[in-house]
Amino acid sequence: MSKIYFSLLVILVLLSACSSTQDIYSIKSSSNVKINNVVDFALKHEGVKYRYGGTTNKGMDCSGLVTTSFKEANITLPRSSGDMSKEGKEIPLESVKKGDLVFFAARNRKKNIDHVGLVTENKNGKIQFIHSTTQRGVIISSFSEEYWQRTFVKAVTLF
């Protein structure tokens, strides 16, 4: 009798281990789907003009673009780039991936965050991000541009 109980116990442990592994994979794939939805939504707004406080195709500011894009994946973020920068986990710039956020102090030298971008890709250390600028509206920029290197404050991952 004890061999039967032992065999049943082993089978139960193996079955539960398999199901938990499957859960991990479904969580990861769910995150990848959300990341892709967020970035794809943001990319659809490339070319939209800048509008302070804007969150529509009529005009968007940088944090409006990011909050609206994340809202598409049912993720709520604070509305200002400064408050948004307090969410998630800070990561090194070299580690950013698609869907991570990059923050800048564009208008001052005190490192007060006033601008946010959404990373669209990081290929071989070449980082691109989408954001809304006052002069050109929603555009994709690169960290190879000296201005963004100079004004960069931090990067954050939410996933």
Given the residues 62, 77, 96, 102, select the one marked as catalytic. 62
Which listed residue (50, 131, 132, 151) is catalytic? 131
Say which residues have a Cβ less than 8 Å from residue 155's Cβ, sequence separation at least 6: 90, 91, 92, 93, 95, 96, 100, 101, 102, 103, 119
User: Given 54, 102, 115, 156, which residue is catalytic?
Assistant: 115
Write out the two tokens for 111: 């490192």
115, with CB counted inside 10 A (0-12, 13-18, 19+), is buried
Active site residue 131: yes
- Residue 134 CB neighbour total at 10 angstroms: 13
In whole angstroms, how large is the CA radius of gyration of the chain? 21
Q: Would you call 115 a catalytic residue per the annotation?
A: yes
- Distance (Å, rounded) from C-alpha 112 to C-alpha 117? 15
3-class SS of residue 4: helix
Could you list the active site residues? 62, 115, 131
